[in-house]
Structure 1
Amino acid sequence: MAAILQGMLASSLMILVLVGPTSAHSHGPDFKVGPWKDAHATFYGGADGSGTMGGACGYDDLVKEGYGFNTTALSSALFNDGKACGSCYEIRCAKGNKWCKPGASSSIFVTATNFCPPGGTGCCNSPNEHFDLSQPAYLQIAEYKAGIVPVQYRRVPCKKRGGVKLTITGNPYFNLVTVTNVGGAGDVTNVEVSGGKDLPWTKLSRNWGQKWETNAKLVGHDLTFKVTTSDGKTVILQKVVPQNWQFSQTYEGQNFM
């Protein structure tokens, strides 16, 4: 029901390039499942998932990027200015509610890919913890005519097929890296890049959502990326991007889980 915030940058054609890099993982406990909490849920977009692409996390084609249509927009209280993009949740319709779908699975698993802005019906106004689900996700747990239902949710590890994906757009003097399909905690908190002795480890800054920027000269280098998630775990994608890389291509390395 909440309108999608339009992406601040035009979508780029993404070509997936599998390069099979080696990876190193930091040590530490696996991401833990959080406690159940109370919230509410609505839905937006079409029954086929249309109207959910793009949005405030900087993702483009949710299917190609590994998210599919089990996705959600988060209210301000959960979105955390975009830092929660990529986090995953288990959501179930509150027990005993008449709008819970008969025979529905006990819960669904969704990834945060968008922002539910305050205003309108007030569902996403602070301090409400609210999920604006894609319609296909919502219809797995509740009836269409309900519109809004009480739910319970908990933070869970993200289980993704394939590896972490990196898409570089921009130009030789400004590089924007979109990080997608991240397992484990899912929400990226730090990105660094290295291109050998001529390009030592360089920290990228968050532009918006999960788009990370740097003015470092990346063209002409084979690139190793270091990606860290909110639980402090890091994956090092060794030479995941080859020396002859091209803008708007997508490169895939290993994942956290």
Structure 2
Amino acid sequence: MAFSLMCFVLLATFLFMQTLADTSCTDCFVQSRASFYSNSEENGTDAGACGFGSFGATINGGDVSAASSLYRDGVGCGACYQIRCTNGGYCSSNGVTIVLTDQGSGDNTDFILSQRAFGGMAQSKDASTSLLALGVVDIEYRRVSCSYPNKNITIKIDESSSNPNYLAFVIWFQQGRRDITAVQLCETQNFVCKLLERSHGAVWTATPPPSGPLSLRMLFSTEDGDDTWVVPVNNIPEDWKAGETYDSGVQVDQ
């Protein structure tokens, strides 16, 4: 009797631990649906809600997507996902890796892919044509690390900025799979820092910004609440200009 009870307890403990492992799996695929931008070019849109502009249409070779709930009020901008359709007659086992650059949904989908990315889930060129003809397909997806070889995190000053009264920028080429959840700008001379606002999407703003050369600080967060501040090697110069890009001198890998 005691042996049977012990076996039951061990089995229950195993099943409980297995359930915890299943619910906390960060690499597991999630079932969903995807469509594509039917009224756009092969690449994504340069008017995406993330505020990336033309960069958002061509980054990652044009394999980009809009998302619905995964947009997360802009926090999801720049995140990368592996997406693969589940129709064995047309779809490859690897699918395609996309970057989120926009917000949108339709026909109960989590993703609206660029035409290039949608067709990229197929096994062949002929299968790609057939896949595009379907319009909407069942998929499975998971978050993966972004990779930009030989690129540092880059600051793109938005064209709406006006030195010294208003500064808006987006952050390009963020590797890994953490989210940027907060950004500070600090004056390099007296170390006074200002916590910036997320205007929309991936656009961070300051009105007015701190003066002089500016040191940037970015808070990278994981889904389980692990936060890390990253401070670039290079500063944003005092004479920053709208439309310019500035290499931060740093990159992240996780």
Give me the CA root mean square deviation: 2.4
Task: Report the alpha carbon displacement of residue 36 of structure 1 after superposing the two structures with TM.
Answer: 0.8
Task: Report the alpha carbon displacement of residue 91 of structure 1 after superposing the two structures with TM.
Answer: 0.9
Which has the bigger relative contact order, CA under 8 A and spacing at least 6?
A: 1
Aligned to 1:222: 213
Aligned to 1:93: 85
Task: Report the alpha carbon displacement of residue 131 of structure 1 after superposing the two structures with TM.
Answer: 1.0
Aligned equivalents of 1:111 and 1:84: distance in 2? Answer: 10
Which of 32, 36, 46 is matched with 1:43 structurally?
36
Which of 111, 134, 140 is matched with 2:99 structurally?
111
Contact 1:189 1:230 in 2 (8 A): yes
Can you list the C-alpha shifts for 1:117-146, whole angstroms capped at 9, x where unaligned?
4xxx5334xxxxx11110001001141111
- Runs of 5+ in structure 1 lacking a partner? 1-31, 125-129
Aligned equivalents of 1:214 and 1:65: distance in 2? Answer: 27
Alignment of 1:135 with 2:115, yes or no, is yes
Whichever structure has more helix as a proportion of its residues is 2
Task: Please tell me the residue identity of whatever aligns with 1:41.
Answer: A
* Residue 110 to residue 79, structure 1, CA distance change in 2 (3 Å): same
Aligned equivalents of 1:186 and 1:86: distance in 2? Answer: 10
Which of 106, 122, 127 is matched with 2:107 structurally?
122
Aligned to 2:198: 206
Task: Report the alpha carbon displacement of residue 148 of structure 1 after superposing the two structures with TM.
Answer: 0.8
Aligned equivalents of 1:62 and 1:43: distance in 2? Answer: 19
Helix, strand or coil at the partner of 1:53: coil
Contact 2:56 2:101 in 1 (8 A): no
Aligned to 2:236: 241
Alignment of 1:82 with 2:81, yes or no, is no
Aligned to 1:168: 157
* Residue 65 to residue 92, structure 1, CA distance change in 2 (3 Å): closer
Task: Please tell me the residue identity of whatever aligns with 1:152.
Answer: E
* Residue 200 to residue 190, structure 1, CA distance change in 2 (3 Å): same
TM-score, normalised on structure 1? 0.74
Helix, strand or coil at the partner of 1:188: strand
Aligned equivalents of 1:34 and 1:54: distance in 2? Answer: 31
Contact 1:72 1:132 in 2 (8 A): yes
* Residue 64 to residue 245, structure 1, CA distance change in 2 (3 Å): farther
Task: Please tell me the residue identity of whatever aligns with 2:96.
Answer: I
Contact 2:35 2:111 in 1 (8 A): yes
- Runs of 5+ in structure 2 lacking a partner? 1-24, 123-130
* Residue 109 to residue 116, structure 1, CA distance change in 2 (3 Å): same
Alignment of 1:187 with 2:191, yes or no, is no
Can you list the C-alpha shifts for 1:4-25, whole angstroms capped at 9, x where unaligned?
xxxxxxxxxxxxxxxxxxxxxx
Helix, strand or coil at the partner of 2:218: strand
* Residue 53 to residue 73, structure 1, CA distance change in 2 (3 Å): same
* Residue 156 to residue 33, structure 1, CA distance change in 2 (3 Å): farther
Task: Report the alpha carbon displacement of residue 47 of structure 1 after superposing the two structures with TM.
Answer: 5.2
Task: Please tell me the residue identity of whatever aligns with 2:189.
Answer: K
Contact 2:169 2:204 in 1 (8 A): yes
Contact 1:158 1:184 in 2 (8 A): yes
Aligned equivalents of 2:119 and 2:228: distance in 1? Answer: 34
Instruction: Determine what percentage of the aligned residue pairs are the same residue.
Output: 26
Aligned equivalents of 2:148 and 2:166: distance in 1? Answer: 29
Task: Report the alpha carbon displacement of residue 180 of structure 1 after superposing the two structures with TM.
Answer: 1.8
What is the number of equivalent residue pairs in this alignment?
211
Aligned equivalents of 1:226 and 1:197: distance in 2? Answer: 15
